[in-house]
C-alpha cells in the first residue's frame, strides 16, 4: 500500500469539496423514464471510508441496476490525493467484490473492507480539476487503462462532471489498435441526480 499523505496535503478545500459532492446515492431515473429504450435505471453510490483506511480521504463505490440493488455490476475503492491544481484519484479493485456487495448501503458491510482486500488498478487513475461550480475529470492520459471485452483488448476513455447535486459520466472502451469504440454508451452520457448525500461522513482532517 502507498504511504499516508500528511494531513496538510490531503486537506485542500477543493479535495474536501470534491469528496463531499461525490459522497451520495445518484440516480438517473429521469433519464431512464424519458428514454427507457436506451437507458436503464442505474444508481451510482459513493460512500466515504474511514480516515484510517488510507490515512486520508477514500471512497467505496458501486453501480447497480435499480431492480437489483444488492447485486452491483461494478465496485471499486478510490483514494483522493491533492496535487497542484488538481485532484488525483487512485482506483483499486476488490479481490472478492461480491463479499462486499451492498457496502454503499450498509455501513456494517463497509467496515469489513480492509486494505488487504484491494489491488491497485495501475494506469486507471482519474484526474479532476475544479471549474467554477463543478469538477471535470477523466482517466489519466496514455490510453493504458486496459479492459478486455468480448475477446478484444480495449482502453478506457472516461469523462465525468460532478456538481453538488449531479453526476454526468461517459465511459467507453476503444480498441487498442483501431481506436474504434467496442463498448459503452452510443447514446451519450449517463445523467444522475443525487438522491441522498453522505457528505457528513467524509472524515474531518483538521
Residue 206 lies in a domain: no
Q: Per the domain annotation, does 204 fall within a domain?
A: no
Is the model's pLDDT at 9 over the cut of 80?
A: no
Residue 1: inside a domain: no
Distance CA 93, CA 23 (A): 19
203 falls within a domain: no
State the total domains in the chain. Answer: 1
- For residue 156, tell me if it sits in a domain: yes
The pLDDT tens digits for 61-71 are 999 999 999 99
Residue 27: all three cell numbers together? 440516480
Query: Is residue 202 assigned to a domain?
Result: no
C-alpha cell at 5: 499523505
The answer as to whether 205 is a domain residue is: no
- Give the pTM: 0.91
Give residue-wise pLDDT tens across range 133-154: 999 999 999 999 999 998 999 9
| 100: three-class secondary structure by DSSP | helix
List, in order, residues 6 or more apart from 18 with CB less than 8 Å away.
Answer: 80, 87, 128, 130, 135, 162
3-class DSSP state of 10? helix
More confident residue, 6 or 157: 157
Does the structure show a pLDDT above 50 at 182? yes
Q: What is the pLDDT of residue 164?
A: 98
Q: Which of 95, 18, 92, 17 is nearest to 60 (CA)?
A: 92
Per-residue pLDDT tens digits for 22-47: 999 999 999 999 999 999 999 999 99
Give the CA dihedral 186, 41, 154, 18, nearest 10 degrees: 110
Per-residue pLDDT at 11: 52
Domain residues for 191? 7-197
Q: What is the CATH number of the domain that holds 80?
A: 2.40.128.590
For residue 115, being part of any structural domain is answered with: yes
**159-162 long-range Cβ contacts below 8 angstroms, 24+ apart:** 159/189, 160/126, 160/128, 160/135, 160/136, 161/134, 161/135, 161/136, 161/137, 162/18, 162/21, 162/22, 162/128, 162/134, 162/135, 162/137
199 φψ region: left (φ > 0), alpha (ψ -120 to 50), beta (else): alpha
pLDDT digits (tens, 9 = 90+) for 83-125: 989 999 999 999 999 999 999 999 999 999 999 999 999 999 9
Amino acid at each position: 500500500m502507498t504511504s499516508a499523505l500528511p494531513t496538510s496535503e490531503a486537506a485542500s478545500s477543493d479535495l474536501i469539496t470534491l469528496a463531499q459532492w461525490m459522497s451520495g446515492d445518484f440516480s438517473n431515473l429521469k433519464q431512464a423514464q424519458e428514454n427507457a429504450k436506451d437507458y436503464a435505471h442505474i444508481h451510482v453510490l459513493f460512500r466515504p471510508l474511514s480516515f484510517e483506511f488510507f490515512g486520508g480521504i477514500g471512497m467505496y463505490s458501486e453501480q447497480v441496476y435499480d431492480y437489483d440493488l444488492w447485486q452491483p455490476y461494478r465496485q471499486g475503492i478510490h483514494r483522493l490525493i491533492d496535487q497542484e491544481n488538481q485532484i488525483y484519484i487512485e482506483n483499486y479493485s476488490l479481490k472478492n467484490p461480491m463479499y462486499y456487495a451492498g457496502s454503499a448501503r450498509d455501513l456494517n458491510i463497509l467496515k469489513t473492507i480492509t486494505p488487504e482486500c484491494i489491488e491497485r488498478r495501475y494506469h486507471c487513475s482519474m484526474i479532476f480539476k475544479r471549474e467554477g461550480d463543478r469538477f471535470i475529470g477523466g482517466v489519466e492520459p496514455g490510453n493504458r487503462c486496459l479492459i478486455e471485452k468480448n475477446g478484444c483488448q480495449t482502453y478506457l476513455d472516461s469523462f465525468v462532471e460532478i456538481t453538488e447535486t449531479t453526476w454526468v459520466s461517459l465511459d467507453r472502451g476503444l480498441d487498442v489498435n483501431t481506436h474504434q469504440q467496442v463498448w459503452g454508451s452510443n447514446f451519450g452520457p449517463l445523467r444522475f441526480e443525487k438522491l441522498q448525500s453522505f457528505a457528513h461522513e467524509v472524515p474531518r482532517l483538521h
